[in-house]
Amino acid sequence: MKAEVAGKASAQVVQGMEARVTQTEGGLAQVMAKAFLHLIADSGNGPLIGGMELGNDGNVVSLRFLTNSMEILAPNGASEGMEWRNGYLRVWKGAAQRIIGASFGAAGDNLVDYFGPNVGAGAASKANAVMWMDASGSAYFGGQLSAGILRNAVQTTTTQTVGVELVNGPFATNGRVRSVTVSFSRRHIRTKTTYGSDGFVAGAGQNTARVEIYRRVGEGAESLWQVLNVSGSVMILNEQDGPDSATSTWGGSFTVNDTSTSAQTMTYRAVITSFTEQGVRHESGSFQQQSITQSLSIISVEN
């Protein structure tokens, strides 16, 4: 079926079926059953082909869609459904949505995974997410309730140091004891890939960090609650017939029982207030590669 206007624009529907069996010289049979539906439209910019193709070769059944977007909606309307468009998959029901993919969300957030309120793909952001992951490898995990335990956990993997903060809450509590774990870790690896007799040398200073944890009960004032003092070290491996490496590490954690019995919401905030690093240099004056990973997390568990 085809409709056309004076060679300027056209729309066409093409469908077909094919069944084929062939015998090879080795006596093997090859089979193929195929059906397709193609929708072809040309508005003057060249033909755009969409549709679907279904095939079966006796071993694998394959289904291919040629489409820019696809929606599956519940019969009761748009209160729940699933859509694929522009490189991301979005699933929603009621007030919640989950989005996985690329090219969605607030400008600059660079999201690849999102769970939060059902505000649509364009309005999804780190600011309104319960959980998010971005293309740089950073992530944020909000609170969850499972197996009769109130568990609220957050994490940041940004490699910035002084001034970085992480907020867990506000979240509801049953007024029982909460086991709160705060941890910080960082690893900085430097690599000299060219061989030689010179190598990495550790200099002055120490690997340390201070993380202050503040607590807020309900709508009350925030106050300093705990301090995590982090230490670290430098490990150097120099090879004459291989690459040289220097690895600086920081690490520390604690678990404290919060016995405040308030049934109001709780908020914990951790902020890195100081950071020092032991000097490391290569005797040649330079090195080719380096990588930095870091994690700051707060976990609250109430049984």
Question: Which region, left, alpha or beta, applies to residue 187 given φ > 0 means left and ψ of -120 to 50 means alpha?
Answer: beta
Among residues 33, 67, 101, which one ends one of the domains? 67
Residues 172 and 289 in one domain: yes
How far apart CA 167 and CA 267 sit, in angstroms, is 7
Cis check for the bond before 75: say yes or no (omega within 30 of 0): no
User: Are 223 and 268 part of one and the same domain?
Assistant: yes
Tell whether 195 and 62 lie within a shared domain.
no
β-sheet bridge partners, residue 168: 268
Angstrom distance (rounded) from CA 120 to CA 10: 34
pLDDT by residue (tens digit) across 237-262?
Answer: 999 888 999 999 999 999 999 988 66
Predicted TM-score (pTM) above 0.85: no
Identify the DSSP state of 16.
E
User: CA quadruple 100, 102, 106, 108: dihedral positive or negative?
Assistant: positive
Burial tier of 200 (Cβ tally within 10 Å: 0-12, 13-18, 19+): buried
- Same-domain check for residues 178 and 289: yes
**pLDDT, averaged across the chain:** 88
Residues 239 and 175 in one domain: yes
- 90 shares its domain with 120: yes
Beta bridge partners of 136: none
Q: Both 172 and 294 in a single domain? A: yes
Q: Distance (Å, rounded) from C-alpha 183 to C-alpha 62?
A: 48
Distance CA 187, CA 206 (A): 14
Backbone dihedral angles phi then psi of residue 46, each to the nearest 5 degrees: 100, 155
Do 202 and 123 reside in the same domain of the chain?
no
Whether residue 167 contacts residue 267, with contact meaning beta carbons closer than 8 Å, is answered with: yes
For 285, the token pair is 């004056």
How far is the C-alpha of 291 from the C-alpha of 145, rounded, in Å? 35
| Residue 90 in tokens | 């979005």
Per the CB < 8 A criterion, the answer to whether 246 and 180 are in contact is no
d(CA 154, CA 165): 11
Task: Looking at the structure, tell me whether residues 236 and 275 fall in a common domain.
Answer: yes
pLDDT at 8: 80
Give residue 182's pLDDT: 95
User: What string of pLDDT tens digits covers the 303 residues of the chain?
Assistant: 888 887 788 888 899 998 988 887 777 778 889 998 998 888 888 888 888 899 998 889 998 888 877 777 777 666 788 998 888 999 988 889 999 999 899 998 999 999 988 889 999 998 888 888 999 888 877 655 444 567 888 999 999 999 999 999 888 888 888 999 999 999 999 999 988 889 999 999 999 999 999 999 888 899 999 999 999 999 999 998 889 999 999 999 999 999 886 678 899 999 999 999 999 999 999 999 999 999 999 999 987
Helix (H, G, I), strand (E, B) or coil at 277: coil
274 and 210 Cβ atoms separated by less than 8 Å: yes
Domain boundary pick from 92, 124, 141 = 141
Residues 159, 113 share a domain:
no
- Answer with the one of 104, 120, 141 that is the final residue of a domain: 141
What pLDDT is stored for residue 25 in this prediction? 73
User: Are 234 and 202 within 8 A, CB to CB?
Assistant: yes
Residues 168 and 233 in one domain: yes
And the tokens for 246? 């220097």
Q: Is the distance from CB of 34 to CB of 54 less than 8 angstroms?
A: yes
Please check whether residue 230 is in contact with residue 210, taking contact to mean a CB–CB distance below 8 angstroms: yes
d(CA 294, CA 207): 14
Whether 94 and 137 map to the same domain: the answer is: yes
What is the domain extent for residue 109? Answer: 70-141
Domain count, the chain: 3
pLDDT of residue 145: 46
